Each structure stands twice: as C-alpha cells, then as structure tokens.
Amino acid sequence: MDNQQIIELFQSRGLIDSALSQDILAEVGHSGKEIAEILADFQVIQHRDDVWPVVASELGASMVDLRNWTPPEALLALVPAGTARLH
C-alpha cells in the first residue's frame, strides 16, 4: 500500500479525519519520514509498527511478527549468495 492508500484506510476506519489526513500527507512530503512514523508522531498510533495490523486486517491477512524468527540453515542454503547480498 502506498501513503495515500494507508491514509484512506485510516480515514475509512474513523481513525483520522480529512483535515488530519491532509496534514499527515503534507508532513510526509516535507519530512521524508515514512507514513507509519508520521502517524505515530501525530499520535494516531502509539508506535510505527502499529500501522501493520490495520493494513493486515484490511487485506484479510494475519499479522506475523518475524523479528525473533531465525530461518533454518537449510532454507538459507537455498538462497544464492548474490541474491542474499542484493536483498
């Protein structure tokens, strides 16, 4: 989702109004910060990571936190070294 789609999603859920939407998008343009950071700065969400459960819900997907997950060595061995360095 792009910034406009995320803003529209938050508007449709009643989390922000039209005026705040415009202010947030303007701040994204001026600051260069990610939309999630700006939503947290404007106290729409508590933390930038709080945007993803809203997006997942809209897409009908489950939110999975992979920060503490380590892929098995066998899986890592399947990724070519050049691809791993690129990404």
How confident is the model over 46-81, as pLDDT tens digits?
Answer: 999 999 999 999 999 999 989 899 999 999 999 999
Q: What is the pTM of this model?
A: 0.75
Which one-letter DSSP state was computed for residue 19?
H
Structure tokens, 28: 């994204």
- The answer to whether 51 and 35 have CB atoms below 8 angstroms apart is yes
Confidence band (pLDDT; 50, 70, 90) for 86? confident
Evaluate if residue 43 carries a pLDDT over 90: yes
> CA-CA distances (angstroms) from residue 32 to 9, 17, 64, 75, 78?
21, 22, 27, 36, 36
Mean pLDDT computed over every residue of the chain: 95
**Percentage with pLDDT > 90 across the chain:** 91
The CB-side HSE value for 62 (13 A sphere, CA atoms) comes to 3
Structure tokens, 3: 């910034």
